[in-house]
Amino acid sequence: MSTALLCARLFLAAVFGLASATKLADIRGSRAAVAGFGVPERLASALGTLLPFAELAIAAALLPAGSARVGALGAVALLSVFVVAIARSMIRGEAPACHCFGQLHSEPAGARTLARNVVLAAFAAFVVVEGWSATGPSGTAWIGRLGGAGAVALAAGLALGALAAFMAWALLALLRQNGRMLLRIEELEAGLEATGSRPSMVPRRGLPLGAPAPAFSLEGLYGESVTLESLISADTPVMLLFTDPKCAPCNALMPQISDWQRELVGELTIAVLTRGSPQDSRAKVREHGVVSVWLDHGLTVYEAYQAAGTPGAVLIDGRGRIASDVVAGAEAIADLVAEATRAPALPVVQIPRRPPSLPPPVVGAPAPAVELAGLAGEPVALSASDGDTLVLFWNPGCGFCQRMLDDVRAFDRSAATGAPRLLLVSTGSAAENEELALQAPIALDPDFTAGSAFGMTGTPSAVLVDRHGTIASEPAVGATEVMALTTATSENRA
C-alpha cells in the first residue's frame, strides 16, 4: 500500500507541477480562462494569477511524507472546484476553454475535461483516505542520501530539464508570433490589392470593399430593436463586432469593447452582435458596461457579412458601404479599431443603395411617397378618404412590439368614432404578420425602406397621416406614445 500511495502522490505532483508551469508561462491566458467560467473580471484577474502558484504549492507538498496529507487535501479541494465549475458550464450549455495546461494543451471544457478532473480527484482522495495515518515513503528523502557526485548530477539534470522546458516554451511563443505575422502580412497584401498597387496574392475575407452593407433589423437584450440605417452616421464609421456567449476569447474581449465604446464616442460606433438568448449575454455585458448589444438569431447577419469565426469584426463607412475585410481575433479587431479611428474614408463609389434614415417630416408637410404592398402583394394606400390613418411601424421579432400587441388588437377591433384607422407597416414575412391576427391592412416593409423614408430608426413607432396625405402628428416612439395617438382624433387635435 505504501508503494501505491507514493506512486499516486508522484503522479499527482507531476500533473499539478506541469499545470502550474504551463500556466505561469501564460498568466494572461490563465486569467482569461478563469473569466470564461463566469468569474467577475476583477476577481478573475486575481484568481488567474494565484491559481498556478496554488497548483505549484500542492505539487511541492505532495512529495515529502510530512506534508503529503496537506497536499492531498489541497488537491481534493482544488479539483472539486474545477469539477463544479465545469459541470455548471455544461449544464448552462457553455464550453469555455479550460486552459488546463496553458499553451501546451487547452480544449473546451466538456465531458472529457470533467472526467479527467474526477479521476485526478479520486487519486487525491485515495491518498487522503488510505494515507491518513501513514502517507507512505517520502518522495524527497533520497535526495539527502546522495553523495557529492550524485548531487551534482541531480542539479545538472534539473538545469537541463528547465532549459529544455524554456526552449519548448520559447519555440511555441515563436511559432505563435510567426502565425500573427503571417496574418498581418495577409492583411497588408489585401490592402495593397484593394488600392490596385499589386495583384492579389491571398483571398479576401467578407464582402467586396465599397459594396452596400446588407441591411438588418435586430432585437436587443431587453426587447428594443435596431436597424443598420439607425446605426449609420455620415461622420462616424460603424463596426459590427460578431461574438458568441460560449466563446472564451469573446468574453475576454468584453472589457476592451467597453473601453472602446466609452473612449471612442463620436469616432466609431461599435455594435456587438451575438447569438443565443438574452439571458446568455445580459450578465456579462452588464458586468463590463458593454452597450449596443443585439441578438443575431440564426446567425443571419453573421452569414450575410460572410464572417468566419468569433470574435470577428467588419467596418461600415458613413455611406453604408463595406469599408474593411472581416477580421477575426482580438488582435486583428484592435488593429481594425485603430485603423478606423485614424484612416481617411474610402474614395466615393457610386453604388445604388437604399436611402439612409431621414429627419422625420414636420407636421403639415406631405407624407413621403412610398409604395406599399399588402400580404398578398396588393397595393396599400397610405391615407384613407374618410379620416386620419395611424401608420404604425412594426417588427414581429421586436419584444417591445409583442408587449403592446394586445393593446393594438383591442384598438384594431374597437372602431371608435373619429379614431384613426390603423395601417401596420411591418418587417418580417407574410406568414409572421398573418399571425398577428389584425383586421387592419398590413404592408410589408422587409428592408425598413418606408420606415427610413419617414425618419424612423426603430420599432414600435408611429405617425398620423390625414386624408389628404399630410403628416398630422409628431412621430411617436414606444408603446405609450404610440397608443396615445390612437385617441388623437381630428377634434381633440384641433
Q: Is 9 helix (H, G, I), strand (E, B) or coil?
A: helix
In this prediction the pTM is 0.36
DSSP structural state of residue 463: E
Residue 491 has pLDDT above 70, yes or no: no
Q: Report whether 472 contacts 466 (CB < 8 A).
A: yes
CA distance 397 to 218: 8
Q: Is 424 helix (H, G, I), strand (E, B) or coil?
A: strand
Per-domain residue ranges of the chain: 2-145, 217-340, 372-493
- 404-455 per-position pLDDT tens digit: 898 999 998 886 777 898 999 998 888 889 989 899 999 998 877 788 788 7
CA distance 38 to 147: 52
pLDDT tier at 353, thresholds 50, 70, 90: very low
- 105-136 per-position pLDDT tens digit: 667 778 888 998 999 999 889 888 887 776 66
pLDDT tier at 202, thresholds 50, 70, 90: very low
Residues 6+ apart with CB under 8 A from 295: 218, 219, 220, 221, 273, 274, 275, 276, 277, 278, 281
| Bridge partners, residue 387, by sequence | 384
CATH topology of domain 217-340: Glutaredoxin (3.40.30)
3-state SS track over 383-419: CECCECEEEEEECCCCHHHHHCHHHHHHHHHHCCCCC
Grid coordinates representing 156 are 545538472
CA distance 47 to 29: 12
What's CA 230's distance to the chain center, in Å? 20
CATH topology of domain 372-493: Glutaredoxin (3.40.30)
* Burial class of residue 294 (count of CB atoms within 10 Å of its CB; 0-12, 13-18, 19+): buried
Residue 344 has pLDDT above 80, yes or no: no
Q: Which amino acid would we find at residue 443? A: A
Query: Where does 205-353 have alpha helices with state H?
Result: 228-231, 248-263, 278-288, 300-304, 330-340
Rounded to 5°, the CA angle 329-333-336 comes to 145
Domains 217-340 and 372-493 share a fold: yes
CA distance 99 to 307: 26
**446 prior amide bond cis, ω within 30:** no
DSSP string of 98-132, one letter each residue: --TBTTTB--B-SHHHHHHHHHHHHHHHHHHHHTS
Q: Which amino acid would we find at residue 60? A: A
